[in-house]
A and B are shown apart, each in its own frame.
Chain A
């Protein structure tokens, strides 16, 4: 089945230790998104790729970076995680930008010690 896969499902890192979360998709969608969701809150868009075009949200901290080496894969890099970065990180895809259904992966729960 076509799907969005996120690895790992749970990630524990130390304060200040770089961490990378990965997302892959078999839907062949043009757009991939990264959201941060804290407990009992709405998902918050960090950035998205429209094909190879990277689009950062204005309020996304510089600590968060992303890479999309090909259509199928997208990575979220947190350069120096702080305690406030502990959250669920959701990857999503859509066929085209906006006005479209988004397909979400199961998420990666990040814990920062």
Chain B
């Protein structure tokens, strides 16, 4: 079963605006990661937040994690056209002791110049 689900599925904004993407998951996790995928390319790791952390920043990225609600959000501030990509959250499912990464369906972000 899918661990992560993302919302919205697609997001279109103007350059300079902020973009917020949400991820919900079902079971306990050790950490949650966000990846970016440009069209037709591999995934690029953006940020990892551990289950005992609530917020993390990296440049224009801000990630929050609420383990009580089993949800995370990714905020991209002052977006640029180059931020146009798909964004995936990935969680490691503790159940079954597999710990493998399970990716959400992704949010497709379009930033218009």
What's the dominant secondary structure at chain B's contact region?
Answer: strand
- Chain B interface size band reads 20 to 34
Contacts of B41 in A (CB 8 A): 106-107
Q: Is the CB of B33 within 8 A of A101?
A: yes
Contacts of A97 in B (CB 8 A): 99
Which residue of A is nearest B105, CB measured?
A42
A residues 93-113 in Cβ contact with B at 8 Å: 97-99, 101-107, 109
Contacts of A42 in B (CB 8 A): 2, 4, 88, 102-106
Contacts of A43 in B (CB 8 A): 43, 88, 103
Q: Is the CB of B103 within 8 A of A98?
A: no
Q: Is the CB of A98 within 8 A of B101?
A: yes
What's the dominant secondary structure at chain A's contact region?
Answer: loop
- Chain A interface size band reads 20 to 34
**Interface status of A45 (Cβ within 8 A of chain B):** yes
Tell me the smallest distance from the CB of A95 to a CB of chain B, in Å: 12
Q: Is the CB of B92 within 8 A of A41?
A: no
Residues of B within 8 A of A (CB): 2, 4, 30-31, 33, 35, 40-45, 48, 88, 92, 98-106, 108
Known: A48-B100, A98-B100. 9 other contacts (CB 8 A): A6-B42, A40-B106, A45-B100, A92-B42, A97-B99, A104-B35, A104-B42, A104-B44, A105-B42
